[in-house]
Amino acid sequence: MTGRRAAFWLLAGTTLAVYLTMLFWSLPRLDMGEAGRAFDLRPFGYGPDETRAYLGALGEAGRAFYRDVQQGLDLLFPALLALTLAIAFRALAPAKVARWLAALALLAAACDYLENHAVRAMLALPPEAVSDAMVIWARGWTMTKSALGALALTAALVLAVSRLRGRVRVQP
């Protein structure tokens, strides 16, 4: 295995480890049942009333965990994912296509950081002080991040499957 290939797999493994930590540890702690799940897990958005209800259900300790732990992990994840995808695109697609797809992954990461910033502002306030405008701003970044991220991940999956199909010949 070449040094570049080993570095890619180390990066991909680190990205996966951070993702799995969020998926199986931090995000489940932020699930408030009927009051909702973490904003990151709502790709179709959330409204002002449900946001305030969720923040109220989290309580002070839950909001602190979201802000300090979950957002700490989510400080790493978007950059790791964007870099992993950009390198994968470079390996799997023609240069021009790879550049566009890498830009898509970087844009998704930027939207994730903007979402984190908007959510952090809501977490800092008592639920009743969170304005409708704050929720609309955060929701927009959540939905945009989710859409762009889904496109980038789908592109990576399609490229990887195409590459594998070219290598694997099924005998009739």
Tell me the domain boundaries of the chain: 3-33+42-167
Nearest to 122 by CA among 78, 68, 67: 67
Give just the sign of the alpha carbon dihedral 89, 93, 98, 104: negative
Are the C-beta atoms of residues 9 and 91 closer than 8 Å to each other? no
What is the arithmetic mean of pLDDT over 48-76?
A: 97
What is the arithmetic mean of pLDDT over 81-99?
A: 97
Please determine, for residue 171, whether its predicted confidence score (pLDDT) is greater than 60.
no
pLDDT of residue 2: 83
pLDDT of residue 169: 57
- What are the C-alpha distances in Å from 65 to residues 39, 58, 60, 62, 155? 14, 9, 9, 5, 33
Are the C-beta atoms of residues 105 and 82 closer than 8 Å to each other? yes
Q: Which helix (H) or strand (E) holds 1?
A: none
Helices marked H in 2-131: 3-21, 27-29, 48-65, 71-92, 95-123
| Model pTM score | 0.92
Q: How far apart are CA 168 and CA 157, in angstroms?
A: 16
Provide the percentage of residues in the chain whose pLDDT is more than 90: 91
Q: How is residue 125 written in tokens?
A: 């306030």
